[in-house]
Chains A and B, each alone.
Chain A
């Protein structure tokens, strides 16, 4: 139904004729990352502080005069601020949610002012464990403060204040981004009009924490990790690659992997290969490629920090109950689950909507019958686009029911 691709394969059509793909009129074009520097002390939930921090972010579209068309996009564990458009004509891939965000797309940048920031604790330009601690002149490493989803939210609120935004038309995110969006509506009820959380959860299951722990152990057991103290171009590359390979399996599904790879073998390898542990199966070389490309763009200590933030996110525990957590929410919430998501399964998504409804809030739940697993929120689906558009663009029309 959605073609043979898995969602991480961002389909990039080749440039046709004289039209380079970064000039595609459906895309936002060349996106310019910006750095926001907060020059004051930031206190984390843990009580630890940073003397200052930087958030790298991108914006697309234009903030209107009434300043009420801003949409905040929240990224997932391995995502970043670059969610739409291109950084340079030579890029292999556009931003990670380019299929959803752009002129005329479901999140229409002709209409909305879209903002996306790399999370605090990340490694794509925002302050994180690989940033230099001004007091020592060395990277923070594992001395970086314990980050929570709430810290991510509160740091992004400071960015929004800087941008002069006191109302968000919507906060949108998938997976960890969904957690962030929900947390936003809890901490800043008056700021958020709509929350769209996809493939998300109010707390991870033991299984999800277990998978994250295996990833963390792969990193920390790599001697090159060295208790988080490693040079910028070094570090636990083997451990981080293995963590990514394993995590990647949890983002897809049995069906989607089997459809894409089945038991295909790499040409020229297979039974005749001299080394039986060489990569005969294409799924193996695919995962190795995923691992290798990840270590070139991600910092191992950031991976530890952000997976910890994910694992410790627990709204019921933090506020006493989900109903208590949602009590201040003013936003209208749309939760979207995906039938084949076994990492943050449909029931965990349902529970968010049910708890909001029990608390008397406006909430809806929709479930898409895709078989692509957790990463389904990234998929190219007209059904999903229609739903997102319906949620974002509804006019407050009064229907006439007089008969």
Chain B
């Protein structure tokens, strides 16, 4: 298994391929601003990130990444429709209190929404739950339940079902194998470790 840090950069590469040069990008759950920094350097985007943590905002400021400390839904509510060319929600969606609200709001303020998430349906996760009968723990889910933030794990099948129910158009997607590098074409809900979806209204 690759280290999570390397996986992060692969996530960035795929998203970077989808982002139009010079576009206006909002990163929900921007962390320390790595992705926006990368997109500013490689795609000359004008970006802003939202995060809850003061020290992470400080790192963004040091990088020269615009960052806003606060709640992502109320942030988006202060912007007009289609203010952003693209909203990105990378490895954040499973931690949202109200995923539907956030995703629909993101599709209002953004022309498109990129969601990247770990596929909880990946066979190793299933096997782990089946054999050990414990909370899944591996490189992607490194913490014990009592050290973890509340999470709402999602599978590729769950996500596609959600898009269908809400009438959200899937413009394109990429499923990656457990190495998060090779594209996964067959049985993605079982064999893909990571999924990236590009959504529009």
A interface, CB within 8 angstroms of B: 332, 334, 350-351, 353-354, 357-358, 360, 362-369, 383, 386-387, 390-391, 394, 396, 398-399, 401, 403
CA distance A360 to B26 in the complex (A): 12
Interface of A is mostly: mixed
State whether the Cβ of B126 lies closer than 8 Å to any Cβ in chain A.
no
CA distance A368 to B67 in the complex (A): 14
In the complex the two chains form, is A401's CB within 8 Å of B68's CB? no
B interface, CB within 8 angstroms of A: 9, 12-13, 24, 37-38, 41-42, 46, 48, 54-55, 57-64, 66-70, 75, 78-80, 83
Give chain A residues whose Cβ lies under 8 Å from the Cβ of B55.
383, 386
CA distance A358 to B37 in the complex (A): 20
Closest beta carbon of chain A to B80's beta carbon, Å: 7
Closest 7 CB pairs of A and B: A390-B62, A366-B57, A354-B78, A387-B58, A365-B68, A390-B61, A364-B67
In the complex the two chains form, is B68's CB within 8 Å of A383's CB? no
| Shortest Cβ distance from A402 into B: residue | B42
In the complex the two chains form, is B69's CB within 8 Å of A365's CB? yes
In the complex the two chains form, is B64's CB within 8 Å of A396's CB? yes
In the complex the two chains form, is A354's CB within 8 Å of B66's CB? no
- Report if A358-B83 is in contact (Cβ < 8 Å); known contacts: A364-B60, A367-B70: yes
Give chain B residues whose Cβ lies under 8 Å from the Cβ of A403.
9, 13
In the complex the two chains form, is B54's CB within 8 Å of A399's CB? no
In the complex the two chains form, is A386's CB within 8 Å of B58's CB? yes
Closest beta carbon of chain A to B71's beta carbon, Å: 10
Give chain A residues whose Cβ lies under 8 Å from the Cβ of B58.
366, 383, 386-387, 390
CA distance A391 to B68 in the complex (A): 14
Give chain A residues whose Cβ lies under 8 Å from the Cβ of B60.
364
Closest beta carbon of chain B to A364's beta carbon, Å: 5
| Shortest Cβ distance from B9 into A: residue | A403
In the complex the two chains form, is A358's CB within 8 Å of B80's CB? yes
Can you identify 16 A-B contacts, CB atoms within 8 angstroms?
A350-B70, A351-B78, A354-B68, A354-B75, A358-B79, A358-B83, A362-B46, A364-B66, A365-B70, A383-B54, A387-B54, A394-B61, A394-B63, A399-B38, A399-B63, A403-B13
| Shortest Cβ distance from B6 into A: residue | A403
Give chain A residues whose Cβ lies under 8 Å from the Cβ of B37.
399
Give chain A residues whose Cβ lies under 8 Å from the Cβ of B62.
390-391, 394
- Report if A367-B78 is in contact (Cβ < 8 Å); known contacts: A353-B68, A403-B13: no
In the complex the two chains form, is B54's CB within 8 Å of A334's CB? no
